[in-house]
Amino acid sequence: MNKKTTTLLIAAIAVLAILYWVFALPSVGNPEIATDAASIERGAYMYQAGGCGACHQDEGAEGPSGGMLLESPFGGTFTVPNITSDVETGIGGWTGRDFMLALKHGRKSNGGFYWPAFPYRTYKDMTDQDALDLAAYVVTIPAISNEVPGHDLPGWQFSWMMAGWSIMADFLEGTPPAVADDPQLQRGAYLARALGHCGECHTPRNVFGIMKRGEEFAGVDMEAPEIDAAGLSSWSEEDFLALLQLGMTPSFDFVGGHMAKVIEHTNQLTEEDQLAYTAFFKRDLGEGATQNSAE
């Protein structure tokens, strides 16, 4: 082999290695989906905590049979899929692997990519156990036959582009402020950051639509108000609890639109979890950070 061929060969191998790194499915094994009542019950709770129905269950529908439209910030609309156990039109027959790949990696088991309109950048921080409990519950949701049309997106958008987007997000997303090592605060952080996907609407994004987690909950102009320490400075803990339970703000307004759907889920949580949410949002950020770094 002459020098030129060798260089080309090495370059080709490097390109293939990069492509493999970008497109390969993460290894998640194939964990079994539990069928015992306790797992299903925990999963049903996770389903509320994750607010899955807010997108998947249409007004008046009997279950999460999809069909709702979500506008894309980059043009076009997504149609939310049917996640009932219907084999033809839903996700009947899904395995533990399918769930882990979708919820925690935004990947399809055939190698494809989901669009981040499905908030997997949030759900990726869910524990494996919680994701599997969720699967245990979701597979028990009675089948509803509802054929959902495909997404209606501009021609330049391809889901494989999400390969690069996800890697970029890993690097650019940043880390949210540290939370003191207190069980209630940690639980609140987990609920808000990994399940309740509060940041998907309330956290600003960069030009690529990647959440800026360092500016967690700082609000998005014209879309969702600021709910960080500054935004909630005039709210008492009771005010925040009233929002989670009733959707009522301190000025006795009721939140509307998408936020009203969020409340339909937060009001189903145990009071213990609602208090954890409250403790987390109303925590003293400065103090939390010092306590954390002191350890």
Interaction site with ligand HEC (CB under 6 A): 50-52, 54-56, 70, 78, 80-81, 83, 91, 102, 114-115, 117-119, 123, 134, 138, 192, 196-198, 200-202, 224-225, 227, 243, 249, 255-259, 262, 266
97-100: long-range pairs with CB below 8 Å, 24+: 97/28, 97/29, 97/30, 97/31, 99/33, 99/131, 99/132, 99/134, 99/135, 99/138, 100/28, 100/29, 100/31, 100/128, 100/131, 100/132, 100/135
Output 72 or 180, the one with its CB closest to ligand HEC: 72
The minimum distance between CB 233 and ligand HEC, in angstroms, equals 10
Residue 195: how many other CB atoms lie within 10 Å: 25
Output 2 or 234, the one with its CB closest to ligand HEC: 234
The minimum distance between CB 139 and ligand HEC, in angstroms, equals 10
Dist CA 50 CA 258 (whole Å)? 14
The minimum distance between CB 26 and ligand HEC, in angstroms, equals 16
Output 81 or 204, the one with its CB closest to ligand HEC: 81
* Residue in 36, 66, 63, 65 with CA at minimum distance from that of residue 136: 36
Q: How far apart are the first and last CA of the chain?
A: 58
* Residue in 235, 233, 234, 229 with CA at minimum distance from that of residue 217: 229
The minimum distance between CB 270 and ligand HEC, in angstroms, equals 14
Output 70 or 285, the one with its CB closest to ligand HEC: 70
The minimum distance between CB 98 and ligand HEC, in angstroms, equals 8
The minimum distance between CB 11 and ligand HEC, in angstroms, equals 33
Q: Pull the structure tokens for residue 138.
A: 């979701």
Output 59 or 295, the one with its CB closest to ligand HEC: 59
The minimum distance between CB 159 and ligand HEC, in angstroms, equals 6
Dist CA 47 CA 28 (whole Å)? 21
Q: 32 — alpha (psi -120 to 50), left (phi > 0) or beta?
A: beta
Output 13 or 230, the one with its CB closest to ligand HEC: 230
Output 245 or 249, the one with its CB closest to ligand HEC: 249
